[in-house]
Amino acid sequence: MTQEEIKKKYQNLHLRYSTERDILTHRIRKYALFRITSFLLLLVAIYLSTSWSWTAFGVVMITGSLIFGYLVWKHNLLYRRMAIVEHLLRINREEELAMEWNYGDFEDGNEFVNKGHHFSHDLDLFGKGSLFQYVNRTSTIPGKGRLAVLLSYIEKSKLEIVGRQEAIAELAPMFEWRQDFRVLGLMAEEHPEDISGLREWVNTSPDFKSPFFRMLIIAVPIITLIVFTLSVLSVISFWLFLAYLCIPLMLAGIKHRRVNVKHNLLSRKYTVLKKFSALFRLIEKERFTSERMQRIREELMPDGLNASEAIRKLARISNAFDTRLNLLAGFLMNVLLLWDIRQSVRLEAWQKKYRERLPEWFRVMGETDAYISLAGYSYNNPDFIFPEISEADELLLEAQMMGHPLIHSRKRVCNNYHVTGWKNFTILTGANMAGKSTFLRTVGVNILLASCGAPVCAKKFVITPVELLTSIHTIDSLANNESYFYAELKRLKMLIDMLEEGKKIFIILDEILKGTNSRDKQSGSKALVKQLILLEAAGIIATHDLSLGELEEHFPENIQNRCFEVNINKDQLSYDYTLTEGIAQNMNATILMERMGITVE
């Protein structure tokens, strides 16, 4: 299936769900009218039947109530389907736009921006127009967090990467299942405190583990019923019954403060827990073939337990506990049934049984959600390929027709690139806007995608998993009183320290030592490259300083010159963005300045 065919599929689904929404809107209005009409007719029938007979009254009440109840049930069913259709309409419209590289409606992960990270800020992994925004289809907070981790960490285990590849490859064609997962995830709004509250609650110490409390919640309702019956039969006075009610009320006040703490951590989480239960159920009932997804499914059903059912029970307890939010209902339920203690005992029983499982279940949820995002990215880009992961000790990076995934396919220019062995550096020269920085990010992003287990934008891609460090977006810091040059030196110092610790690193540098004068920059850059070779690093260094290309003569086995050339024809500039061998011959700064009205003598 081509990208155009995939785009057409999203368009057709968008049209289909738009039509269904219109039909549902009409049916909901119709059933709303039926409900009102049936209710009014029922009132009239009840009024008339009271003058006929008790039998007629009973028949009218039962028949009318059943009809009205059915209409309410049907009306609610239509509303639920409408909510599902609205989400399906939204996600297919978003995907249709994303196929045209208009993906601004997706969350951009701006909260994960870290300017001090080894590579994420330089490669534009988070924020507006980022790789995260392009691939993100997560519908849960654990999934969003896990996807951010996958994009922030280079995995070096071939076994782990291949496991991810198999999971993503299996999920990619499961189109309807992936859409069902996203819709279920979007059905209830989720907040960060929902998960943090659950994790905090599950680790709290029990307050009602004593058998005394379990005895109370059984005995008090029975005694209350007996005392009430005695009052009705006039065996005891009604005032004595009211006096008795002070006893369960005082009992309900036992550990009232601790009950409030527990309830605050779980309050109003019924819909979110129901959502998680439905998502777990979707995973549990699927029969996966990849080892990774099979393992995920098994982790949701250990030792005969069932995550979806356990979370559903917790949702019911949470909903019952929320009764106390209604002051009148909470008062009556506590007086008659010791409601707070009863729900606290139920919660602690659940907590004891599933305490160790809950964090693991949310981890599994996040893992699945992140894989679904990467599977959607794979599905939408059928020309991308899963890279071959090499286990060789020596560095190997071989890419054929490699491009940047965030550049529109109609504008994308792909290049071949290879690195064989450590102590191997590419000096990349070229004019302004010729494509150097884009190429640096192209290499970095595809290395990262390969580490995630995701497809890369290339016809062939073979890589040894390797630590990555970049220096492209180095910035100064007024808050820390740091100049641009000092910030760059700190970055390079961190790199040298890592290499001296024995780490193997692939380095991507753009115009090193930009913050100093030309003479210092030239001598310092050459010294740095020589040191990096001695420390057995590898990578790409882009520069405007053509003299760095001279290092190839001194280190022919370690340095290769590559460039992006600009074509100049009678002050007209053109770029082909094609990587070629050698040092750039043409520069364009003077022409560009003159075009901006800046006179150059």
- Cβ contact 226:202 at 8 Å: no
Does residue 322 sit in the same domain as residue 405?
no
- Cβ contact 274:361 at 8 Å: no
477: DSSP letter: B
Output the pLDDT for position 521. 67
Does residue 428 sit in the same domain as residue 523?
yes
- Cβ contact 396:462 at 8 Å: yes
Q: How far apart are CA 573 and CA 579, in angstroms?
A: 17
The DSSP-derived string for 111-130 is GG--TTSSSTTTTT-SSTT-
- Cβ contact 134:380 at 8 Å: no
Output the pLDDT for position 360. 92
Output the pLDDT for position 506. 95
Q: Is 254 within a domain?
A: yes
Q: How far apart are CA 90 and CA 308, in angstroms?
A: 26
Q: How far apart are CA 482 and CA 476, in angstroms?
A: 6
The residue among 65, 100, 135 that closes a domain is 100
Question: How many CB atoms within 10 Å of residue 106?
Answer: 19
Q: Is 535 within a domain?
A: yes
The residue among 69, 100, 131 that closes a domain is 100
Using the structure block, give the residue that is written with the tokens 């709004």.
Answer: 189
Long-range contacts of 52-57 (CB under 8 A, 24+ apart): none
Q: How far apart are CA 342 and CA 320, in angstroms?
A: 10
The DSSP-derived string for 8-69 is HHHHHHHHHHHHHHHHHHHHHHHHHHHHHHHHHHHHHHHHHHTTT-HHHHHHHHHHHHHHHH
Does residue 307 sit in the same domain as residue 439?
no
Output the pLDDT for position 468. 94
- Cβ contact 110:127 at 8 Å: yes
Q: How far apart are CA 223 and CA 228, in angstroms?
A: 8
Does residue 454 sit in the same domain as residue 590?
yes
Does residue 260 sit in the same domain as residue 294?
yes
Using the structure block, give the residue that is written with the tokens 């001279």.
Answer: 550
Output the pLDDT for position 401. 96
- Cβ contact 461:385 at 8 Å: yes
User: Up-side HSE of residue 226: CA atoms within 13 Å toward CB?
Assistant: 5
Amino acid occupying residue 105: D
Which of 413, 378, 406 has the alpha carbon at shortest distance from 1?
A: 378
Output the pLDDT for position 370. 97
Q: Is 329 within a domain?
A: yes
Q: How far apart are CA 79 and CA 379, in angstroms?
A: 31
Does residue 481 sit in the same domain as residue 360?
no
Q: How far apart are CA 168 and CA 162, in angstroms?
A: 10
Output the pLDDT for position 520. 64
Q: How far apart are CA 343 and CA 213, in angstroms?
A: 11
Structural element, H or E, at residue 279: helix 270-284
Q: Is 133 within a domain?
A: no
Does residue 552 sit in the same domain as residue 484?
yes
- Domain containing 222 equals 191-365
Which residues in the chain come in under a pLDDT of 70? 474-485, 513-521, 568-573, 586-601
User: What end-to-end distance do the CA atoms of the chain give, in Å?
Assistant: 56
Q: Is 383 within a domain?
A: no
Q: How far apart are CA 331 and CA 325, in angstroms?
A: 10
Does residue 360 sit in the same domain as residue 395?
no
The residue among 100, 122, 140 that closes a domain is 100
Does residue 269 sit in the same domain as residue 306?
yes
* Domains of the chain: total: 3
Does residue 268 sit in the same domain as residue 230?
yes
Q: Is 292 within a domain?
A: yes
Using the structure block, give the residue that is written with the tokens 């005695």.
Answer: 230
